[in-house]
């Protein structure tokens, strides 16, 4: 089935092939015309003119139809340029190498080959053109008549000028297209960079939000201290590290005395104020490696890695005294409260997180039974 001649079918043919087809058709038709003008009234056989017609009028179309069906039309078209040089060499040999016609044919094909293949094209032309001339001499015999009359000379000058101008226009068009393509690519590159920057900022914001969410998930919303969930994972980790390094670890479990009475008498806002004051005090007394948590309700816990038991007891007493001396303003009132504190330490009171918390809880309730506002081991 023949290929449909549609715009879609033509658009599939590479631009280089279509451009060379137009240039070759016009240039070879001009060469046929200048040969006819040069020969003039000289008697030439029908066979000669049939051969010239095949070379210069039929060949461009046949070559185009063949090339567009190749698997690599562009590569095939670049090879066609050698064939052009051969045929032009045969044409000038057939009429005795007239100077202006030979010069025009050689310069035209040399320019086209150079524009498309560089120095390789120059070398190919300087081989193919004389090779075609040799074939022409074998076909029609060698004769040398370099002179051309004025009409032929002017035709050659005009034709060569038009061809080289057209070739320059093609080069200009290609450069313009390349420039526009480069500018479009630069625009796309800037757009991609902007999108990439925006994406990078979004990722940073997402990372910050995720970090904020993780932090919020580990923090008590009222006091800002760490919550029970964070303590459970941190205590196991810190205890394992202290076991590995041979360090001690202390837990201080804290409960606000008579906290329910404060809520019942002054309201939950008053209770929140006391909780906030205790959390602030814990935060100020904690070391960089300590973990202050709201353990639940009015209970707090201070985890102190590498803290010996005696030092932990001193810290607990200092905390109890400091909080007991606080006056928490609430409206027209000055609220006061005390702390009951239980202490447990590794390794003396247990080797697991559950054991330490259980012993600290036992010590805390002993402090409550013994009258509150005290520290117990």
The catalytic site residues sit at 298
3-state helix, strand, coil in the chain (%, to 5): 70, 10, 20
Q: Which residues, 6+ apart, have CB-to-CB distance to 159 below 8 Å?
A: 30, 34, 104
The answer to whether 248 and 346 have CB atoms below 8 angstroms apart is yes
Please tell me the distance from the alpha carbon of residue 314 to that of residue 263, in angstroms, as a whole number. Answer: 30
Whole-Å CA distances, 55 to 20, 90, 91, 153, 210: 16, 9, 8, 22, 76
The answer to whether 35 and 95 have CB atoms below 8 angstroms apart is yes
Angle among Cα 89, 93, 98 to the nearest 5 degrees reads 105
Tokens (6 digits) for 293 = 């948590």
The answer to whether 267 and 332 have CB atoms below 8 angstroms apart is no
How buried is residue 136: exposed, middle or buried, by Cβ count under 10 Å (0-12/13-18/19+)?
buried
Question: Which 8-state DSSP code applies to residue 335?
Answer: E
Total length of the chain? 377
How buried is residue 26: exposed, middle or buried, by Cβ count under 10 Å (0-12/13-18/19+)?
middle
Please tell me the distance from the alpha carbon of residue 315 to that of residue 377, in angstroms, as a whole number. Answer: 13
């Amino acid at each position: 089935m023949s290929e449909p001649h549609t715009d879609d079918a033509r658009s599939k043919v590479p631009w280089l092939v279509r451009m060379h087809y137009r240039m070759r058709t016009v240039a070879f038709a001009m060469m046929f015309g200048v040969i006819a003008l040069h020969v003039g009234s000289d008697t030439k056989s029908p066979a000669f003119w049939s051969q010239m017609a095949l070379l210069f009028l039929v060949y461009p179309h046949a070559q185009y139809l063949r090339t567009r069906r190749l698997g690599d039309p562009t590569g095939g078209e670049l090879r066609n340029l050698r064939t052009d040089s051969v045929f032009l060499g045969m044409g000038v040999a057939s009429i005795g190498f007239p100077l202006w016609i030979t010069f025009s044919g050689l310069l035209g094909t040399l320019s086209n080959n150079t524009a498309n293949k560089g120095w390789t094209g120059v070398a190919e032309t300087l081989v193919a053109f004389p090779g075609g001339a040799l074939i022409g001499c074998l076909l029609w015999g060698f004769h040398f008549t370099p002179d051309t009359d004025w009409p032929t000379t002017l035709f050659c000058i005009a034709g060569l000028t038009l061809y080289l101008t057209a070739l320059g226009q093609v080069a200009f068009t290609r450069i313009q297209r390349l420039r526009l393509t480069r500018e479009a690519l630069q625009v796309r590159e800037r757009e991609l960079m902007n999108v990439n920057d925006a994406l990078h900022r979004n990722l940073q914001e997402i990372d910050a939000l995720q970090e904020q969410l993780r932090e919020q998930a580990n923090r008590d919303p009222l006091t800002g201290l760490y919550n029970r969930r964070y303590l459970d994972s941190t205590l196991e980790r810190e205890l394992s590290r202290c076991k590995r390094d041979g360090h001690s670890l202390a837990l201080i479990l804290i409960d606000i005395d008579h906290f329910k009475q404060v809520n019942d008498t002054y309201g939950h806002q008053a209770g929140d104020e006391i909780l906030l004051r205790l959390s602030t005090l814990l935060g100020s007394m904690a070391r960089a490696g300590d973990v202050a948590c709201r353990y639940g309700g009015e209970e707090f816990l201070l985890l102190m890695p590498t803290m010996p038991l005696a030092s932990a007891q001193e810290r607990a007493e200092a905390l109890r005294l400091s909080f007991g001396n606080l006056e928490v303003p609430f409206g027209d009132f000055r609220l006061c409260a005390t702390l009951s504190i239980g202490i447990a330490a590794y390794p003396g009171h247990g080797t697991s997180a559950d054991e330490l918390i259980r012993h600290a809880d036992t010590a805390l309730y002993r402090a409550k039974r013994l009258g509150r506002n005290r520290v117990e081991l």
